Homo-oligomer: A and B are copies of this chain.
Amino acid sequence: MASSASDLGGKKPQRQHQLFLGNFIHSKSREELDYWHNTAVAVSSEGVILAIEKDCDEAKAKAELLPRLKWAPSDVEVTVTSDKQFFFPGLIDTHVHASQYPNVGIFGKSTLLDWLDTYTFPLESSLANRAKAQRVYTACVRRTLSHGTTAASYFATQSTESTNVLADVCLSLGQRALIGRVCMDNAAMCPEYYRDESAETARIATEKSIDYIRKIDPTYEIIKPILTPRFAPSCSSASMTSLGKIAAETGLPVQTHISENKPECELVDSLFPEAGSYTNVYENNQLLTPRTILAHGIWLSEEEAALISQRGSKISHCPCSNTSITSGTARIRWLWNHGIDVGLGTDMSGGYSPSVLDAARQAALVSRHVAMGMAEGKERECSKLTVEEVLYLATKGGAIVMGMEDRVGSFAVGMHWDAIQIKLATITELGDREEDGGEAGNVDIFGWESWDEIVAKWLYNGDDRNCKKVWVKGRLVHQRK
């Protein structure tokens, strides 16, 4: 029922102008969604929003907006949302291991460190086989596109060739991505069959990966490299230092893990006793930049949160993963109160779901578990995240974490058209689902709901079936009937 970019006859990215009409919903602030109805959004052939007109239907847009833009109607493709449909910013996955995609749902009762050895390293290392890498990454990127993920920060594997395959796949299928070759050279902690030989070979491999991405997307229009020390226990100080140096010299972003579960934190303390904290290990290697994405951050101290905030580094919250492999419950309100920006990560396959919408849902649930761990009172009540807040995390919050908030995450003139078109099913007067040839999905609208109730219903029961079209920088990268 679904097709993605390469099914569209290998057409080049669209070069037509586009006009989108109807309902638009996005985050006005962390606490509030903005609802635009009867609105027109004009998107250039380059995928940039050039105009937003309120109180504007198709006739008015053609009579007034198109002439003002000097667009001939024949050069413009029009997409209209009707009742119970709306445009929403593309969803942003700030932490995901493309290489672990085949393992989603497979974690048994494991926790982080044994999970890595049992499930993760064997699969990741097997992607040194190019054909297997192509197969796994294609499946992963198609699947995440189908759920409306327009931008993702990926961990590939330790293999440069496998990492290059992921870069190819994202560019070809049109998903905006940060692509990270995984650095892991600590012989005491990484398996012999899957690690960098030395800090020096790790640096060289990283640079090769950067060069490759620069070659295939020279302006980093769609994909960009991200420096990726796996996490402190996997890396020698020398390799972290060299990645920190590259970050300082190139301004490239950085991603790693921090403070995910307690045994891991204790391991870091024992490996880096002089550092004084997990966060300091990264600080000491110039890895705590304003372009750094730190996944998890569950067990951070006040001092660590203050340092991360001071450096402007970001946190990727991965609620599905954190619950599944029993890591802990991250305190999002507490991070926000420290002035730290937060986005969502599916963290496949620590998390089992490819869907950022599911991550938003689970962020709401985990925040209630955070609340349930507290005494009654204002702080407890405040810990609970609202529908508006978790959808902010999934879009604008994620854009900030990825360093892309000037281009994606919400709708404004000058921003790129990274968007999804959402359609929900209607229940007839007889109680049947209105079928219209497509897949109706799992959300039933009875017709009396307010718009904020419609959005809540989508958050809690929506899935890829509701995501009818997906665009990245104006290019249609996924659609289904």
Contact = CB atoms under 8 A, between A and B. Distances in A.
B328 A372 contact: yes
Given A372-B329, A460-B353, A427 B323 contact: no
Interface string A433-474: 101000110111010110001001111110111000000000
A45 interface: no
B460 A105 contact: yes
A108 B457 CA distance: 11
Given A353-B461, A461-B104, A433 B369 contact: no
A329 B368 CA distance: 11
B459 A105 contact: yes
A53 B323 CA distance: 41
B460 A323 contact: no
A384 interface: yes
Nearest to A373: B373
A56 B429 CA distance: 48
A387 B324 CA distance: 12
B457 A139 contact: no
Nearest to A371: B326
Interface stretch (A23-31, A61-69, A129-137, A210-218): A129-137
Interface residues of A, number: 62
A389 to B, nearest CB: 10
A37 interface: no
A1 B439 contact: yes
A354 B372 CA distance: 24
B326 A368 contact: yes
Contact of A384 (B101, B326, B387, B435): B326
A135 B372 contact: no
A105 B457 contact: yes
Interface in A93-120: 101-102, 104-106, 108-109
A308 to B, nearest CB: 23
A158 to B, nearest CB: 21
A53 to B, nearest CB: 32
A304 interface: no
Nearest to A7: B432
B354 A102 contact: no
